[in-house]
Structures are given as structure tokens and as C-alpha cells.
């Protein structure tokens, strides 16, 4: 039976890499799929991995009817055997409903990839709807790591190297950006609560206030 599967995890845990692998495995067996993405780091209409892999995709714009798009392509004779959706957290809830309809009415597997919560630890509306509708939810087994070595469970937004907890929910950025840019870092819950990024931890370690005092 076709399924709507939601692959979830923090940033930097290999979601896009797995999406590309699923597409590769199916295309190697003669199957053809449609890949949707939204606001990928490589630019519009791209699905990219931090490992350097990239492929063409359909940009799922905010007002786009994903079900209608697929029906239109199939009506023109296009062969569609499956659907991959990356950055699914950025989709509107009604677009997630459309993906569920693709599974139920078109009998296609839909593999959606995304992070569940934003930099404020609040659910993205698209991810919330996926949790509500998905036939199966898979947590990726490749664990991203906090700077302290613990398993990273939270996404932090940084501006000028400092963690922020206010602002628009969607601001496109990536991990490993320079400190002057809007960037993201994955943290364990403890250090997310303390707003302790790797840069902040490094600065604290170098602070004279925390160094031993020589009695002499």
C-alpha cells in the first residue's frame, strides 16, 4: 500500500542525503519520481546535500497545489511512480493535505523530509500536519551532535554568532555560516536552554574570569 512517510530530524542529520538516495535507488530500477523542495540552500528548484550532491527539483511555492501539479503532469503523459518532498516543514498545512491526497487518490508513495521544530522549539505548521497525517514517521538514525558531544535535539538560530530566540519563523540559512550571517547550529536541549552555542562556549573558556588565579 502507498504511504505518506515523514522522515524527521534536526538540521545536519542527513535528511537531504537520504532523500537523494531514495530517488537514486528508485531511478536505478526504472521508476520515475517528482521531487518537490522549498527554499533549499543551493537555490530555487534544487535539492542539495551537505555532502555536495545536488539534483533538480520543483520549487513548491506557497500557493502551489501539489496534487493539482501532479495530476497535470500525469495528464500530459508524464510517468510518476513516487514523490519526494524535501524541506517539508516549510509547506503550508493544506499542501500537506494535498500530499495525503496524492497517496490516497493517486496511489503514489510520498516521502517527506523535514525538521519538526524551529529555533524557538515550536512546531512548524507543515511538520505538525505531517505528524497528524503521516502513515509512518521515521526519525533519522544518523545523529547530529552538539558541540559538547551530546546528541543534538534542537535547532538554534544565530546572528553575529549569538543565539536568538525571537524573529520570523522562516529565515533561510544553514549551519557552518560565518559569524556575521544568520546561521543555524544544532544543540542538545541543555545548551539550547542556556543559549550556549559553540562560539559562546569558546568565548567563556577563553575568559580570564574562569581561568585559575595564581596566588603568587
Which residues have a catalytic role annotated? 87
Residue 89 C-alpha cell reads as 516543514
Amino acid at each position: 500500500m502507498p504511504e505518506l512517510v515523514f522522515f524527521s530530524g534536526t538540521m545536519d542529520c542527513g535528511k537531504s542525503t537520504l532523500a537523494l538516495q531514495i530517488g537514486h535507488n528508485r531511478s536505478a530500477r526504472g521508476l520515475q519520481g517528482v521531487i518537490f523542495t522549498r527554499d533549499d540552500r543551493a537555490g530555487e528548484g534544487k535539492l542539495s546535500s551537505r555532502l555536495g550532491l545536488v539534483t533538480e527539483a520543483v520549487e513548491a511555492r506557497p500557493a502551489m497545489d501539489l496534487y493539482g501539479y501532479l495530476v497535470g503532469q500525469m495528464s500530459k503523459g508524464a510517468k510518476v511512480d513516487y514523490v519526494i518532498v524535501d524541506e517539508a516543514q516549510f509547506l503550508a498545512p493544506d499542501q500537506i493535505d494535498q500530499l495525503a491526497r496524492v497517496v490516497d487518490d493517486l496511489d503514489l508513495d510520498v516521502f517527506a523530509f523535514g525538521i519538526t521544530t524551529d529555533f524557538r522549539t515550536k512546531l512548524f505548521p507543515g511538520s505538525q500536519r505531517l505528524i497528524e497525517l503521516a502513515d509512518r514517521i521515521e526519525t533519522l538514525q544518523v545523529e547530529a551532535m552538539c558541540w559538547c558531544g551530546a546528541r543534538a535535539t534542537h535547532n538554534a538560530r544565530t546572528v553575529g554568532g549569538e543565539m536568538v530566540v525571537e524573529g520570523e519563523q522562516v529565515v533561510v540559512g544553514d549551519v557552518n555560516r560565518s559569524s556575521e550571517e544568520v546561521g543555524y547550529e544544532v544543540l542538545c536541549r541543555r545548551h539550547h536552554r542556556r543559549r550556549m552555542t559553540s562560539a559562546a562556549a569558546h568565548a567563556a573558556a577563553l575568559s580570564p574570569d574562569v581561568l585559575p588565579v595564581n596566588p603568587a
